[in-house]
Amino acid sequence: MRGRLGLFRLSGCDYAVPLDRLLRVVEKGRVDFLPLMPPKMAGMLIVDDEIVPVLASEALPGTRAEAGSQVDYQVLVATECGPMALPADTTVGIVAESRGRWKDACQKVRGFLPDIFCYNKSRFLVLNVDDFVMDLIRS
């Protein structure tokens, strides 16, 4: 049982994060550049006087987002390494997992659950936040 999920879209792909990891959604946040960043990061966002690393759009699997592309939203999630912002074009909302169904993913994607959440005719890749972040750090 995973409870509720926060759903968002980026460049035609659908993603979900468990609600217990969702901190907040920031609209049109200013992303500041930092030299020597790891290649999968886009910069940093300042939220409530805290520094939040921002994931590059192209680092999410399946997107057709190009490097440096602008997004309207940042979805902030809690990770073992502190908060992290995920890029999003739109937010879909928060849904109880009982409102959708789980389907075995044909292809395992590193950092994501092996099942896809199907809701309202869309298929959401569900982020396994800690695995995803560990992959980022190792890479």
Partner 1 sequence: MDEISRRLLFHIGPVGFCVDLNDLVEIREQVAEQVDFSRGDQQSFVAGALPFRRTMIPVVDLTDRLDLASEGLDTALVLGSREGNWALLVNRVVGFYPAAEMKDHPLPQLLQASGWRCFQQLALFDGTPFIRLDLAACYAGNPG
Binding residues for partner 1, rule: CB under 8 A, are: 32-38, 41, 44, 46, 49-53, 79, 81-82, 84, 133, 136-137
* Comparison of 86 and 92: residue with beta carbon closer to partner 1: 86
* Comparison of 75 and 116: residue with beta carbon closer to partner 1: 75
* Comparison of 3 and 38: residue with beta carbon closer to partner 1: 38
- 116 exposed, middle or buried (CB, 10 Å; 0-12, 13-18, 19+)? buried
* Comparison of 19 and 37: residue with beta carbon closer to partner 1: 37
Residue 52 C-beta: closest distance to partner 1, Å: 8
* Comparison of 94 and 137: residue with beta carbon closer to partner 1: 137
Residue 125 C-beta: closest distance to partner 1, Å: 20
CA–CA gap between residue 10 and residue 50 (Å, rounded): 25
Retrieve residue 63's tokens. 């997107």
Residue 59 C-beta: closest distance to partner 1, Å: 11
Residue 58 C-beta: closest distance to partner 1, Å: 16
Retrieve residue 104's tokens. 């075995």
DSSP letters spanning 80-132: TTEEEEEEESEEEEEEEGGGSEEEE-SS--TTEEEEEEEETTEEEEEE-HHHH
The answer to whether residues 55 and 8 touch, using CB atoms and an 8 Å cutoff, is no
Residue 68 C-beta: closest distance to partner 1, Å: 13
